[in-house]
Structure 1
Amino acid sequence: MQFINPKIDYAFKKIFGSQQSHNILISFLNALLYDGKPTIQDLEIIDPYLAPKIRGIKDSYVDVKATIKDTSDRTSSVIIEMQVLNVEGFENRILYNAAKADPGQLIIDNDYTDLEPVIVLTIADFEVFPELEQSISHFMLKDKIYLTDYPIYDIELVFVELPKFRKELAELETLTDKWIYFMKSAQKLDSIPLVMQTVPEISQAFELAKKANMTPDYRNYHL
């Protein structure tokens, strides 16, 4: 059995952004955004094309986009990007996509308090912050001098740096460990490890990642 590299654009979108991905994406986001806690109760995977509402504004694409609802019934927009190469302007694009995540949600009759929080989750196959040891970092708005939090937590940038995760298969314990290991190592495996089979959503992700499930044109192009 062979699995496609989930970091490849087509595979990432198939695993996390297709019609079969609802429960997979809930588990994945709970693992990476909320430390494995069952915070997300439901979500809707939506068109990831960020269509500009103002003439002349630059188009932008993301890998997966969803609207999530948490245990407090709060709704947020989540943008998920898999970034393999550290290209110039990468950090700027993240801010740009966050700023225009829902350009049409505030209509004339709405109040600013109706704006949904935005979370941008970036999985990077390189080190983004060499000065930090942790593999997952969360950024929010703070005062420049005193580091006081801005009173509204409605923009959050989350980075998962895959090279910093160094646990081996036998060391995997948490849901977060298992999902990051899946992202790093699925393409190197020839079967679904027993420790991963304990999470049904990860088993489903492996099924979607089977090379046998890919179209002939896609297999020929990426093998």
Structure 2
Amino acid sequence: MCTQLFDPKVDYVFKNIFGSEKHPRILISFLNACIKPKEPIVEVKLKNTEMSKEYIEDSFSRLDILAKTSTGELINIEMQRADERNMVKRSLYYWGKTYISEYTGKGAYANLPRTICINVLDFILLDEEKFHNKYLIQNTENKNILTDILELHFIEIPKMKDIDESDLLSIWVGFLEDPNNEKVISLERKVEELQEAKEELARISRDPKEAEHYRMRENSRNDRLNALLSAEEKGLKRGEQKAKLEIAKSLKGILSDEIISEKTGLSLEELKNLS
């Protein structure tokens, strides 16, 4: 019987595949495909591998991947499935935390590392056509780059319509979107790291303990989304109430309170308290 594969976009699964010390080639392949450095990355050291039960159940915990390359670059990768309306500022915040994470208060600022944040998103965020966009600090007039110390990547999975077999990042995004995609399956024979990722995904999907962690993470995500939706609904209701009060104020002295109440839904008591 075929195993039902977990969704690799779930951050718990994503971290198990791309942030595993047992499978560094997968992460290296993904990083080279995304960053496209002049000199390919050949070695990475993972810096945050914690995956305790409490950490998985905490809906506010970030199951991100933090890695350091052999050349000293710090790279933070986050898989985000829901648009919480804060992704750009969130990315900048975590870039800043990552950038200063190794600074001890001694030594020259020149020694601070080049830091890259990669945001893999299962929603559309940017007003850009391409599914992968890179941002740097540059002069707005002549486009000269001030520094490459800051680099932000946004990969918007829904924007990729078809897998480009000549682009390794497109292949990885295809895997994340649907590991059972026919093109992905055919490419496993050509891309060893992709096959390794698929095998690791299958292993996780068969493991009862991993299945329990997968369920817990999905539950924590659902709890977080419900809390966000509830907060948004309350905000909308407050906004609607404020709008009704403003309309009522503008109609005071023109229409009777009874008619204003009928039109706005406000009670006569609320109308009496309007200044």
Shorter-chain TM-score: what band?
A: 0.7 to 0.9
2:43 is paired with a residue whose SS is strand
Query: What is the percent sequence identity of the aligned residues?
Result: 25
Partner amino acid for 2:45? E
| Secondary structure in 2 matching 1:121 | strand
Question: Contact 1:68 / 1:77 at 8 angstroms: preserved in 2?
Answer: yes
Larger radius of gyration: 2
Q: Specify which of 170, 178, 185 is matched with residue 177 of structure 1.
A: 170
Q: Is the 8 A contact 2:131 2:159 kept in 1?
A: yes
Root-mean-square deviation (CA, aligned residues, Å) is 2.7
Cα distance in structure 1, aligned partners of 2:114 and 2:122: 26
Local SS of the residue matching 1:141: strand
Relative contact order, higher structure (CA 8 A, sep 6+): 1
Distance 1:214 1:46 in 2: 27
How far has the Cα of 1:106 moved from its partner? 2.3
1:32 is the counterpart of 2:45: no
Q: CA deviation at 1:34?
A: 0.8
Instruction: Tell whether 2:92 aligns with 1:95.
Output: yes
Per the alignment, residue 133 of structure 2 pairs with: 137
Q: Given the superposition, is the C-alpha separation of residues 162 and 143 from structure 1 closer, same or farther in structure 2, using an over 3 Å criterion?
A: same
> What amino acid does structure 1 have at the position aligned with 2:68?
T
Matched, 1:207 2:199: yes
CA contact (8 A) 2:175 2:184 kept: no
Number of paired residues? 204
1:106 aligns with 2:98: no
In 2, Cα distance between equivalents of 1:3 and 1:38: 35
Q: Give the one of 2, 5, 27 matched to 1:3.
A: 5
Structure ranking higher in strand proportion = 1
Q: Name the residue aligned to 2:272.
A: none
- C-alpha distance in 2 between matches for 1:60 and 1:142: 33
- Contact persistence 1:83–1:124 (CA under 8 A): yes
Of 76, 81, 93 in structure 2, the residue corresponding to residue 84 of structure 1 is: 81
Structure 1 portions without partners, runs of 5+: 50-58
- Runs (4+) of structure 1 exceeding 6 A deviation are none
For 2:61 and 2:174, the matched residues in 1 are separated by 29
Scaled by the length of structure 1, what TM-score is found?
A: 0.80
How far does residue 77 in structure 1 lie from its aligned partner after superposition? 0.2
Q: Partner of 1:147: helix, strand, or coil?
A: coil
In structure 2, the CA distance between the partners of 1:144 and 1:38, relative to structure 1 (3 Å rule), is closer
Gaps of 5+ in 2: 51-59, 219-275
Say yes or no: does 1:123 pair with 2:117: no
CA distance in 2, matches of 1:48, 1:94: 20
Conserved? CA contact 1:48–1:62, under 8 Å = no
Q: Give 1:20 deviation, angstroms.
A: 1.7
- More helix per residue: 2
3-state DSSP of counterpart to 1:40: coil
Question: In the alignment, what sits opposite 1:55?
Answer: none
Structure-2 change in CA distance of 1:208 and 1:98 (3 Å): same
- For 1:4 and 1:44, locate their aligned partners in 2 and report how far apart those are by CA, in whole Å: 26
Tell me if structure 1 keeps the 8 A contact 2:99–2:114. no
Q: Which amino acid aligns with 1:173?
A: S
Cα–Cα, structure 1 residues 153 and 86, in superposed 2: closer, same or farther, change >3 Å?
A: same
**2 CA distance for matches of 1:31 and 1:68?**
15
